[in-house]
Amino acid sequence: MTTARFSPIILVILASGCITAQRSAGDASDASSAGVSSGQALLLDDFESGSSKAGQPWSASADSNNLGSTAQFEVDDQGKSGKGAHFTGKLGRNVAPWPWASLSTGVAMGSKGDLSGVTAVRFWVKGDGKKYRLALAREAVTDYANFAKSFQAPKEWTQMEIPLSALRQADWGKKVDRTWTDVKSLEFAPLDAEQEYDLRIDNVELVLAQGGSPPFGENAKVIDEPQTALEGTTYVLDQFEGTSPANGAVWGSEMDMNNLGTIATARTEDVGGAQKNAIHLTGKLGKNGPPWPWATLAVNLEPNATPVDLTNVVGIRFKAKGDGKPYKLAITRKAVTDYGTFSYSFSPGKDWKQYSVPLSKLKQPDWAKQVEPGWTDATSLQFQPTIGDAAFDLWIDDVELVFQAGKTITLKK
C-alpha cells in the first residue's frame, strides 16, 4: 500500500519514494541518542501545508512480497505543535525476500540534493517504544544498503538529532564513499518484524554546518555535473539574432493564473559581448502553496503543437546564465497528462555556461504517473524556475538539438 501527500505538479520534481531494501528487518545500528546541538536549523517540514519546504511529498510504502507488510500515512492534528505525520502499519514475516516499510520524502527541489552542508537531521518523534531507523538514500547506493541509524521511538514527544556522521551502511551492502552530494531522499522505517508499528513525526529539520549551503530554498543550488559531449548533426533551433526559431514556432512566457502573485515576462535583449542577443526570462513565482505557482519559457517543437518524434535526438545544448537558483529544462510529451514532465535541473551562475544534456538525463518525478520511455510524442521545449515565492532571472541562448549522425531531422527547417 502506498499513500502520499502530493506536491505542486509543475513547480518541482520529486526524489525517490520507497528506499528500504529487501533485507532482514533487524539489521540496523544501535539506537541513537536524543542529544540536540545548537546548529542552525533548516526546516524541512512542519506538516502545516501541502508539501515540504523542498516542495516534495511524503510517501508511505511497503513491500509486495506477500509477507503481510502494510503502510499508511496521514497528516493529522496530533503533532508536537499543530499538525504532524502519523505513520502506521505492520511489518511482515521476517523471511526472505524480507519485509520492509518506509515513510520517505525528497530533500531537494530536484531528484537529488547536495547535503554536504548538513551535519544532522533533527526531528520530534513519538511512538510505540519500538525500533525504527532514519536513512538517507543516495544515488551511489544501488543495493539498498543505505546509510542509516536506528533509534527507539519514545512514548512521549521527544526531540532527536542524528548526526550524518553516525549513519552507517549495513554490513551486507556494497560499500561506497561517504559523501552527501547525491542524496535522493530521507526515510523513516520500522525494524521490528512481524509486529504492528505506530510512529508520529513532526518538525523535521536539517542542521546546517556554519556557512553550509542548504539543499533547498532560495539559496539552494543544483549539483553542477560534468557536461556530456554530444556527437551528431546539430540543428540550431534559435540563436535569438533577430529571426524566429528555425522550426517556425514562437517563444513565449506563461504562468499560473491562481492569484498567487506570479509574474513572468520574456523578451530578446542585447547582452553585449560574444553572445550578442539572448532571451531573458524574469519575474517572480508566487506563494508556494495550493493551487501552486508556476512559470515557464516555452517553444513548441511544431508550430501548431503537433507531437514531434525526437527518437533520433541525442540531446540538447544551450547556453545559460542567471541568478544561481535551480531551474529546469523540460520536454513535454502528449503521453504525460499530470504535468510530471521529463526534465533536467541546473543552476546557472552569473557567467555564461554551455549545458550539454543527453535526453536520457531527463526524468519524470516519482510522484508522476510513469509513462513508457520514448520521444515519439514530444510537444514543447521549456525552461522553468522552481523556487516558490522568489524572484527569478534567467538568460538563454544558442539552443540546439543534436540528432544522430545520418538520421532524419524531424524538426522543420
Dihedrals phi, psi of 166, to nearest 5 degrees? -90, -10
Query: What value does the mean pLDDT of the chain take?
Result: 89
Flag whether pLDDT at 6 surpasses 50.
Answer: no
Per-residue H/E/C for 295-345 = EEEEEECCCCCCCECCCCEEEEEEEEEECCCCEEEEEEECCCCCCCCEEEE
Segment 64-92 shows an average pLDDT of 96
Task: For the chain, give the percent of residues with pLDDT over 90.
Answer: 72
User: Are 143 and 290 in a shared domain?
Assistant: no
Can you tell me the distance from the alpha carbon of 193 to that of 190, in angstroms, rounded to the nearest whole number?
8
Residue 35: band (very low, low, confident or very high) from pLDDT cuts 50, 70, 90: low
Flag whether pLDDT at 32 surpasses 50.
Answer: no
Note the pLDDT of residue 26. Answer: 45
DSSP E strands, 209-312: 233-238, 251-255, 263-272, 276-284, 295-300
Note the pLDDT of residue 141. Answer: 95
Tell me if 408 is assigned to some domain.
Answer: no
Tell me if 101 is assigned to some domain.
Answer: yes
User: Are 257 and 292 in a shared domain?
Assistant: yes
Segment 380-399 shows an average pLDDT of 94
Cβ atoms 103, 58 nearer than 8 A: yes
Spell out the residues 6+ positions from residue 328 whose beta carbon is closer than 8 angstroms to its own.
Answer: 13, 110, 343, 344, 345, 346, 382, 383, 384, 386
Flag whether pLDDT at 9 surpasses 80.
Answer: no
The DSSP letter of residue 168 is B
Of 182, 15, 178, 45, nearest to 113 (Cα)? 182
- Most confident option among 25-39, 320-334, 355-369: 320-334
User: Are 71 and 197 in a shared domain?
Assistant: yes
> Cell 516499510, residue?
101
User: Are 274 and 204 in a shared domain?
Assistant: no
Segment 201-220 shows an average pLDDT of 89
The per-residue DSSP string of 5-37 comes to: ----TTT-----S----SS-TT---PBPP----
Cβ atoms 128, 198 nearer than 8 A: yes
User: Are 198 and 301 in a shared domain?
Assistant: no
Residue 272: band (very low, low, confident or very high) from pLDDT cuts 50, 70, 90: confident
Tell me if 62 is assigned to some domain.
Answer: yes
User: Are 23 and 158 in a shared domain?
Assistant: yes
User: Are 32 and 131 in a shared domain?
Assistant: yes
Flag whether pLDDT at 30 surpasses 70.
Answer: no
Residue 4: band (very low, low, confident or very high) from pLDDT cuts 50, 70, 90: very low
User: Are 294 and 146 in a shared domain?
Assistant: no
User: Are 176 and 239 in a shared domain?
Assistant: no
Number of domains in the chain: 2
User: Are 167 and 237 in a shared domain?
Assistant: no
Dihedrals phi, psi of 313, to nearest 5 degrees? -85, 125
Can you tell me the distance from the alpha carbon of 186 to that of 136, in angstroms, rounded to the nearest whole number?
5
Residue 53: band (very low, low, confident or very high) from pLDDT cuts 50, 70, 90: confident
Please tell me the least confidently modeled range out of 59-63, 112-116, 274-278, 286-290: 286-290
Flag whether pLDDT at 149 surpasses 70.
Answer: yes
User: Are 42 and 189 in a shared domain?
Assistant: yes
What's 56's domain CATH number? Answer: 2.60.120.430
Note the pLDDT of residue 138. Answer: 95
Domain extent for 329: 233-403
Note the pLDDT of residue 179. Answer: 94
